[in-house]
Each structure stands twice: as structure tokens, then as C-alpha cells.
Amino acid sequence: SVHTRDQVELPPPAIDNRLTVHTLWSEIDRISSEQIQAAFEGVGGEIGWQLFAEEGDMRMYRREMEVDGMVTDPLKAMHKVRGVTAREMCHYFFNPRYRYEWETTLETMTIVEEISSDALVFHQTFKRIWPASQRDALFWSHVRHSSTGTYAVTNHSTTNVDYPSNTGACIRLFVTVCLACRTTYPAGEQPTRNNITTDIAYCSTVNPGGWAPAGVLRAVYKREYPKFLKRFTNYVVEQCRDKPIAI
Ligand code: 18C
């Protein structure tokens, strides 16, 4: 049945052995640990973080930053979603089967390598924004359950000889993204769709990789990040509605 298939493919509670023998393992482990560690660290009171979007329980902050004249503003978003678990959130974010259903910036997505049940390498092209060149990205994606009870997906740019950068129409961009989630429910109760709350921290840094007008880029950023987080979390709530809860 559909449920059995989904259960099988849920993020594993422990790291897949096939990942730990892969050449990317030390990098994946180090960057994922750093990202998860930093994800829930506060932005309140810290210098430089400015709130730019707020809606219900969602808050989005950015820090203005430029590298070699290119806008690379780090983003940090906090959100709270009821009725779905951290593991379910990460399942839908990690699994490519669902990506076209919630990711609106995508033009194409290719699975470059299946490292393990919890790690994949993707090549993606994005919709072009006039007047800039189209962008693509090549990144590994890793989902894990960490010791603190957090489930998280980390995406980070990598290279692959079969997918060279800046050879065709696209300019390669560089991305580091982390979606970290943790679920709470009242002490002494069993978790159900009616009493669980999942706290979400989404952090993203995108380097456009080549010239892009700063004004256009910051406008896209301001519009697309809130759109993404609302759409994605609503999508997961819809998908989970009539399914048994996966803690
Ligand atoms: O995390 C998200 N998605 C994951 C799965 O796809 C994955 C993706 C990471 C890539 C993020 C980079 C997206 C760049 C998109 C550029 C084109 C947008 C076109 C939109 C027009 C309709 O981790 C969710 C990602 C949500 C992305 C929000 C947009 C971020 C914009 C940041 C600036 C991008 C600079 C590109 C140069 C543009 C030139 C003006």
C-alpha cells in the first residue's frame, strides 16, 4: 500500500552505512553537524539580523552580505507547524518524488548519484530571471536524525566531472541550505495529529556565482523565500492529513 511504501522511505533513524564509506562522507558529516548545531540559535538581539517577513508563526530574517561584489545575504527563518512531525517534514523536503509539487523555482531536476537511503546528489536548473543568465546548481543532500531529537536535511554544493559548471547557458550558483525540525507534544500524552507541534528552522545562503543585479536579486529573495516556506509547509500538512503519524 501507499502507506507501507512511505514508511519504508521515511528518513532512517540512524545513518546509513553506505554513506559512511563514501568519499563525501567527512564533508557531509562536518557540514551537516555545523548547520544543525547553528539552525536553532537565536537571531533576536544579534547584530545584523533584520526581520523582513512575518506571517502567523513564520519569521524571516536576513543579513546583508556581499562576496566579491555579489549579494550573498544569509537567510534564517523560524516557523511552527501543527499536526505534522519533524520526520515527515524532512521526508517531503528530501525525497525527490515530491519536489516538483512544492518547489516553484525549479525548471529541471536530475538525480546525479544515489549515495545511500539518506544521501543523494542533485543537479537542478532554475527558472530564468530577466535580465540575468539562467542558474543551475549541483549539490549533495543529506537527511539525518540527530542526537538532540532533531530531524534535518542539509544541502550543499559539490562538483562532478559529468556536470561541469558554466559550460552551457547556465551560470552555476552555490548553495548551503539546512531545514532543521523538532517535534513536541504534551508530557504524558501520546503524540497525535491533534497535539504535536513542529518547530522549524530554515537557513539558506546562496551565492549567485556570477553577475546578477543586486536590486533584482534582493527583490526575488524577498518574494520567493516566504512563498517557498508557506507553500512547502502547507503541502506537508496536506500530504499527512489522513496518514498515520510517523514520529
Ligand atoms: O531549499 C529549497 N529548495 C531545495 C530543493 O530545491 C534546495 C534548493 C536550493 C537552491 C536555492 C537557489 C534557488 C535559486 C533560484 C533562482 C531562480 C528563482 C526563480 C523564481 C522565479 C519564479 O535547497 C527552497 C529554495 C527556495 C528558493 C528561494 C529563492 C532564493 C533566491 C536567492 C537568490 C538566487 C540568486 C540567483 C540569481 C538570480 C539573478 C537575479
Residues 103-158 pLDDT 10s? 999 999 999 999 999 999 999 999 999 999 999 999 999 999 997 889 999 999 99
217 pocket-lining for ligand 1 (C-beta < 6 Å): yes
Q: 3-class DSSP state for residue 12?
A: coil
Distance from the CA of 118 to the center of ligand 1, in angstroms? 22
pLDDT value of position 42 = 78
Taken in order 183, 188, 192, 193, the sign of the CA dihedral is negative
Residue of 127, 172, 206, 221 to test ligand 1 pocket, by largest number of atoms within 8 Å of CB: 206
Distance from the CA of 199 to the center of ligand 1, in angstroms? 23
| Ligand 1 atom with minimal separation from the 104 CA | 22
The percent of residues above 90 in pLDDT, for the chain, comes to: 89
As for the ipTM of the complex, it is 0.96
Which CATH superfamily, name and number, covers 2-240?
Answer: START domain (3.30.530.20)
pLDDT digits (tens, 9 = 90+) for 53-99: 999 999 999 999 999 989 999 999 999 999 999 999 999 999 999 99
Number of other CB atoms surrounding residue 67 within 10 Å: 11
Residues 6+ apart with CB under 8 A from 82: 196, 197, 198
Alpha-carbon gap, residue 141 to 156, rounded angstroms? 7
The CA-atom distances, in angstroms, between 44 and each of 36, 40, 50, 62, 220 are 18, 11, 9, 12, 24
Closest listed residue to residue 33, CA positions, set 180, 131, 195, 163:
180
Q: With bands split at pLDDT 50, 70 and 90, how would you rate the model's confidence at 46?
A: low
pLDDT digits (tens, 9 = 90+) for 164-201: 999 999 999 999 999 999 999 999 999 999 999 999 99
Name the residue type at position 92. Answer: Y
pLDDT value of position 64 = 94
Contact 177, 198 (CB under 8 A): no
The CA-atom distances, in angstroms, between 175 and each of 2, 73, 80, 218, 236 are 33, 12, 24, 16, 23
Q: What is the DSSP string of 188-232?
A: TS---TTT-EEEEEEEEEEE-SS---HHHHHHHHHHHHHHHHHHH
31 pocket-lining for ligand 1 (C-beta < 6 Å): no
Number of other CB atoms surrounding residue 17 within 10 Å: 9
The torsion angle over the Cα atoms of residues 226, 229, 235 and 238, rounded to 10 degrees, is -90
| Ligand 1 atom with minimal separation from the 179 CA | 1
pLDDT digits (tens, 9 = 90+) for 7-38: 558 999 999 999 999 999 999 999 999 999 99
User: Would the pLDDT of 161 be above 70?
Assistant: yes
Closest listed residue to residue 224, CA positions, set 95, 31, 62:
62
Q: With bands split at pLDDT 50, 70 and 90, how would you rate the model's confidence at 41?
A: confident
At residue 80's C-alpha, the angle toward residues 235 and 3, to 5°, is 40
Q: With bands split at pLDDT 50, 70 and 90, how would you rate the model's confidence at 4?
A: very low
220 pocket-lining for ligand 1 (C-beta < 6 Å): yes
Question: Which alpha helices (H) appear in 22-85, and where do they start and end?
Answer: 25-39
Alpha-carbon gap, residue 38 to 184, rounded angstroms? 20
Distance from the CA of 36 to the center of ligand 1, in angstroms? 21
30 pocket-lining for ligand 1 (C-beta < 6 Å): no
pLDDT value of position 5 = 46
The torsion angle over the Cα atoms of residues 203, 225, 170 and 207, rounded to 10 degrees, is -40
pLDDT digits (tens, 9 = 90+) for 189-240: 999 999 999 999 999 999 999 989 999 999 999 999 999 999 999 999 999 9
Mean pLDDT of the chain: 94
The CA-atom distances, in angstroms, between 119 and each of 112, 200, 204 are 11, 21, 19
